[in-house]
Amino acid sequence: MPNWNEVILEIQQEQQKNPHVNPLDTVRRKYLKSVSKITGRNTIAYYSGWLQKPQVAGTAVNDKDKSGFMLAINKLDRAKGLDLILHTPGGDIAATESLVDYLYSMYDKDIRVIVPQISMSAGTMIALSAKEIVMGKHSNLGPIDPQMGGLACQAVLDEFKQAKEDIKQNPQSASLWQVIISKYHPTFLGACKQAIEWSEKMVFDWLENNMCKGDKNKVQKIIDTFANHKIQKSHSRHISKKECIDVGLTIINLEDNQDLQDAVLTTHHAFMHTFLNTYCVKIIENHNGVAYIEQAVQPQNSK
């Protein structure tokens, strides 16, 4: 299968051969189709262009995505299960919960997630809802501790707890802590606590009912690792395939099937080229070429 540079060359050749057809779509769909042919399963790619367009709105998981999945799933033979290729920075927890519920209703938990490069935050939550995750040596998941306003909810609660303990031991520190914790409204603290409880219970239930099949001890170990801000230190931390295996996730090595690895990585390159060369910010596309494509607002030329 072609590498990064060879995919560029193939796109250029396709443009010369068929100037009236978008070569990016042609090449991308060709290799996405090849993934399905190898696995014998339905394949949907859920791709975000956040790496290429970090400041553009629409790259995160949101409620509009369900419409894209409805389009992509329509007319597929659902008895074949679903391989979901994920590349996303994450996004809204409520939208994530709704999306997984919808995928479960369509595929009865026969869902496998493939991570060619990165699936972070809410993207990791989606991966943890699957029966197994296919990862390569280059693949990463991320922490699932919820964030509010760019702040880790657990870090906010920990800071507030530390303030109370310090003031109790040393009342003179109250004035110092007042400056720090005054930025936290009581309602915000409650919202942080609820977000942590919600996200952890949601992922716990998915793991217990699918990947871990009732093994609550294994589920709790996974939650304690992925949702613990004290362990992960940063919401942007990249968790390797080895760490995922060590904590108890059901991980399939992408390298074990050379044909599948080639097809997945070439498909990944094709999606990256699409984001680099168009205004696309998100693509939800099935192996038959049916796609929901969201584009950024194009800049207006100044006069």
Question: What is the residue extent of each domain of the chain?
Answer: 4-142+238-295, 145-214
* Close Cβ partners of 148 (under 8 Å, ≥ 6 residues apart): 156, 188, 191, 192, 195
How is the beta sheet containing 140-141 ordered, strand by strand?
A: 118-119, 140-141, 239-240
CA dist 39 and 20 (Å) reads 32
- Interhelix angle for 153-169 vs 174-181, to 10°? 160
Q: Which helix (H) or strand (E) segment is 126 a member of?
A: helix 122-128
The architecture in CATH of the region 4-142+238-295 reads: Alpha-Beta Complex (3.90)
Residue 181 CB contacts under 8 Å (≥ 6 apart), including other chains: 159, 160, 163
Alpha carbon distances (Å) from 117 to 50, 80, 88, 180, 239: 13, 25, 9, 38, 11
- Please report the pLDDT score of residue 60 as a whole number: 94
Residues of the chain below pLDDT 70: 1, 298-303
Using an 8 Å Cβ cutoff, are 41 and 77 in contact?
Answer: no
242: alpha, beta or left? (left if phi > 0; alpha if psi -120 to 50): alpha
Please return the burial class of 108, using the count of CB atoms within 10 Å of its CB with bins 0-12, 13-18 and 19+: exposed
- pTM of the complete model: 0.90
Q: So what's the pLDDT on residue 149? A: 75
Pick from 83, 133, 88, 86: nearest CA to 111? 83
pLDDT at 303: 47
Q: What pLDDT does residue 150 have? A: 75
pLDDT score of 179:
72
The C-alpha torsion from 25 through 29 and 31 to 37, rounded to 10°, is -170
Distance in angstroms (rounded) separating the CA atoms of residues 136 and 113: 12
Cβ atoms of 146 and 225 within 8 Å: the answer is no
Tokens representing 68 are 């894209």
